[in-house]
A = this chain, B = another copy of it.
């Protein structure tokens, strides 16, 4: 199947109708975030209630997703966010992205509200065939059990994404889960912005995608595609970060825990410390060691895994499968850096099992780990819980599914938790809490947090690559405050990558290896058979960012929303004892076009 043959699947919950639409010309060259943000801009009233009937949930695989290109199995989910009240794209791997593309779906648009709020639905998607089916028996079911049951019922090893209990409760910390590639762990999250609640507000429990009647997405220009993907693959495989036996494959994304700690930029104790000795206990190295032990003890009988792909065909394999020490059986897949940091370091919980359990609860009920950990840390900071008290945090988080007031508070995210407990020490931008990089010692990531359209988000312009890891051997001084240009370049490139379906982590390799970058861009061009070069990347990204910022403006945002919280400008972070002192003028210079 060619990319151009894919269709829009429009699902209307008002009358439970399903419609396949031809893709309009202006959408043809778009995929992933480029498409979700464009559709939202065109079809969602900027001032609508995010959990009301006028919001729409858009699901789109990347433009290259479903082809044979490596590391391109990413999904964009978009809507007006209940957490930020602005436009949102959240991005995940898993089984669904490629299957959706191969079932011929350019994007799913879910609109309207069901009449009866007591009725819940699943959506079954096959090539040229979609169905809304009643699913009350799956409502309020934990994701592990849900995936198991759907996996058995539908037999075709489908892609499954869903709202989770938290989303069905309309909690603003709810992400959209997806199932893993070859097991039933709901470890793939389009986690941020409370999009699980948007799906929940539509009355949808799960979307099950079966591509058996579809096929691989074929490039228009096959030759160009072949050489392009080969160049990219080489860059990815040879690179010390993304490559074979590189950092990611050995330690997962959590390779960063010790790196950021050493940099004094690992937020701890609700963003009051930048370094804590015991972070190592929940680092990627600790996971690696546990896998060593499991392999030694159980041999082939364990499913512990160092290098696990989040989507079929990924060569970077940055995931790890964590197993129970006594049985050797999987308990969590993956334990990501940002999750371990949020649920562990930021809460001062450094007991490995507690952090794994917290993450498993998030996966089971469908909570964004970053939002949940920040919410717990804020509650601890305000005195409602104790820092470092794993069992108390587990109890609070279990309270979400039990519908306790405390559970609902934590499930509503860090800002709401701060409001309820009278704390303004909440690390957030636009209502969305920040991930695992303190912007006080690393200013570029702070510029990204402040100015990207999505709220506190590292993936929207991951300047850490330049400021901590280095590009082509050179590290940009993290303490420098003239970072508008750096963040802009990352934001623009990212908006392109998120549209292509390529994983953001390809950036580690392509920023170092020019041939890899060219290969990635050429593969994108080859899919459509259109002219598109490296020079077009930032222009493309800029266009998407402008659309997104225009939506936010119409939704009531101004430059005042492009700021970090007060405490980061007044409380120095140890051990470097620095505050965030990038000027407002520098922040406003990032998007000088709007």
Contacts and interface: CB of A to CB of B under 8 A. Distances in A.
Interface of A: 46-52, 54, 169-172, 197, 384, 404-406, 408-409, 412, 416, 419-424, 554-561, 563, 565-567
Contact of A420 (B51, B54, B405, B556): B405
Given A556-B558, A556-B560, A556-B561, A51 B405 contact: no
The number of times this chain is found in the oligomer is 2
19 contacts: A47-B560, A47-B566, A48-B566, A49-B424, A49-B565, A50-B424, A51-B424, A54-B566, A170-B423, A171-B422, A197-B422, A384-B405, A405-B420, A408-B409, A554-B560, A556-B557, A556-B558, A556-B560, A558-B558
Contacts of A49: 424, 565-567
A461 B421 CA distance: 33
Contact of A412 (B419, B554, B556, B561): B419
Given A169-B422, A420-B405, A560 B566 contact: no
A390 to B, nearest CB: 20
Contacts of A48: 566
Given A405-B404, A409-B409, A422 B560 contact: no
A408 B383 CA distance: 13
A358 B95 CA distance: 53
Given A51-B424, A52-B424, A554-B560, 8 more contacts: A49-B565, A169-B422, A384-B405, A405-B406, A408-B420, A409-B420, A412-B419, A558-B558
A412 to B, nearest CB: 5
Q: Specify which of A49, A405, A566 lies most central, judged by the most chain B CB atoms within 10 Å of its CB.
A: A405
Q: Give 8 closest A-B pairs by Cβ, nearest first.
A: A170-B422, A556-B560, A405-B405, A405-B406, A49-B424, A49-B566, A408-B420, A416-B419
Contact of A563 (B47, B52, B384, B424): B47
A563 B47 CA distance: 9
A570 to B, nearest CB: 8
Contacts of A52: 424, 566-567
Contacts of A424: 49-52
Nearest to A422: B170
A424 to B, nearest CB: 4
Contacts of A172: 419
A412 B567 CA distance: 22
Which residue, of A50, A384, A560, A567, has the highest number of chain B Cβ atoms within 10 A? A560
Nearest to A167: B422
Contacts of A47: 560, 563, 566
Contacts of A555: 560
A416 B420 contact: yes
* Residue of A406, A419, A423 most packed against chain B (CB within 10 A): A419
Contacts of A559: 556
Contacts of A54: 566
A422 to B, nearest CB: 3
A49 B409 CA distance: 21
A521 to B, nearest CB: 38
A18 B515 CA distance: 68
Nearest to A562: B556
A560 B555 CA distance: 7
A49 B52 CA distance: 29
Contacts of A409: 405, 408-409, 420
Contacts of A558: 556, 558
Nearest to A407: B405
A221 to B, nearest CB: 45
Contacts of A197: 422
Contacts of A405: 384, 404-406, 409, 420
A554 B584 CA distance: 13
A577 B171 CA distance: 31
Contacts of A412: 419-420
Contacts of A171: 422
A372 B348 CA distance: 35
Contacts of A567: 49, 52
Nearest to A83: B419
A559 B197 CA distance: 27
A169 B172 CA distance: 24
A554 B560 CA distance: 7
A446 to B, nearest CB: 16
A23 to B, nearest CB: 30
Contacts of A384: 405
A320 to B, nearest CB: 34
Contacts of A404: 405
A409 to B, nearest CB: 6
A561 B406 CA distance: 30
A395 to B, nearest CB: 12
Nearest to A396: B405
A433 to B, nearest CB: 14
A47 B54 CA distance: 31
Contacts of A406: 405
**Most chain B CB atoms below 10 A, which of A384, A422, A556:** A422
Contacts of A554: 560
A563 to B, nearest CB: 6
A525 B409 CA distance: 52
A170 B567 CA distance: 17
